[in-house]
A and B are shown apart, each in its own frame.
Chain A
């Protein structure tokens, strides 16, 4: 049987990983390993390589996004029970997801610019992707799909003709951490209320976390400047990539 590359006296990756994680502090294995590293060029080089990988990791990966995604998924799996109302919303969300995926095919990761798209579930149950400006009616449900080639903190905000500003996605209050290259639906769906007229949606892709209050203040400022015509809003005074989508809410 052929032995692994390092010699019999060498330390394993497990020992080196434990050393780097500080798990060997105060243990005899720590001093023995340190002594070996000072004498063995191969293990010393391996130790250095693992240490450098630790330094590089936060530069090469969007740690905040990975952590937020893992936390969200771990909570989703461990959620005990949901109410009937939430359950039906989840069912709706799932049905939207399934139909859109079937109709559009797999698009998990795409290259290109930031984008916001919307799918609607009509009152008759039909699910369809929307074009900006498409007519929608009270009681219909919409769901947002976001893509960003860069790591970002994402907000989705609505500004309607009744002068209301609605935050639809804001994460924990500083934006939703978004991993570079991710193309995904946001959790949950929005059932449209009785307010009619245009509602301008904006997805903001910010390079750093922002307080939601700052984002909402910018949206209110833009709505005031538009004199109650949200369809005329084309920019918020924020240093973020901005993508707009117009809902045209009308009675059936």
Chain B
């Protein structure tokens, strides 16, 4: 792919990739690094990317997987360093709070984290997620329930309304 074509790719899709990486990672510098990794991945696939029926959907998937891996790596490093940020005991965590969601994404299996990102970050409907992942709507519902169970197990104080 030639430079002008790659630049056009950045202009068309860069803001989307960066926005989602920021939402998942919560850090500007890491989000920018993630954007570069996602585009490098796209360039490495060459025609594979260009021939995608929906490049946007493909980039959503790659960005989600890359950022979930980053969340898990970060969590691992944090555990190694035993750095725990002080928590505000008066504040009840909930999934609308991005910081709470990020912390949980680092702890749950990837297939649950992926669905949680689509649902809570991208605000997709369950049938849209099902179509995106090629699974039934029931499976999406089950995995969201599993995510919430895992979230409650990780943090019993988590506020989750039915």
Contact = CB atoms under 8 A, between A and B. Distances in A.
Contacts of A73: 36, 40
Contacts of A77: 40, 44
A230 to B, nearest CB: 33
Interface string B63-79: 00000000000000000
Contacts of A23: 54-56
Interface stretch (B9-17, B80-88, B103-111): B9-17
Dominant secondary structure of chain B at its interface with chain A? helix
Contact of A54 (B3, B11, B56, B60): B11
B57 interface: yes
Contacts of B7: 63-64, 67
A78 interface: yes
B60 A14 contact: yes
A8 B56 contact: no
B45 to A, nearest CB: 9
Interface in B115-137: 118-125, 128, 132
B155 interface: no
A172 interface: yes
B21 to A, nearest CB: 13
A209 B21 CA distance: 31
Interface residues of A, number: 35
B55 to A, nearest CB: 7
A111 interface: no
Contact of A4 (B14, B19, B123, B148): B123
B19 to A, nearest CB: 7
Chain A contact residues, majority secondary structure: helix
A13 interface: yes
A96 to B, nearest CB: 24
B3 A67 contact: yes
B44 A78 contact: yes
B123 A5 contact: yes
B43 A74 contact: yes
Given A50-B15, A172-B3, A66 B44 contact: no
B153 interface: no
12 contacts: A1-B161, A2-B94, A2-B161, A4-B123, A12-B124, A12-B128, A14-B122, A15-B128, A18-B57, A54-B11, A73-B40, A74-B44
Interface of B: 1, 3, 6-7, 9-16, 18-20, 35-36, 39-40, 43-44, 54-57, 60, 94-96, 118-125, 128, 132, 144-145, 148, 160-162
Given A1-B161, A23-B56, A78-B44, 12 more contacts: A6-B123, A12-B123, A13-B20, A14-B128, A18-B54, A21-B16, A23-B54, A54-B11, A61-B14, A74-B40, A74-B44, A77-B44
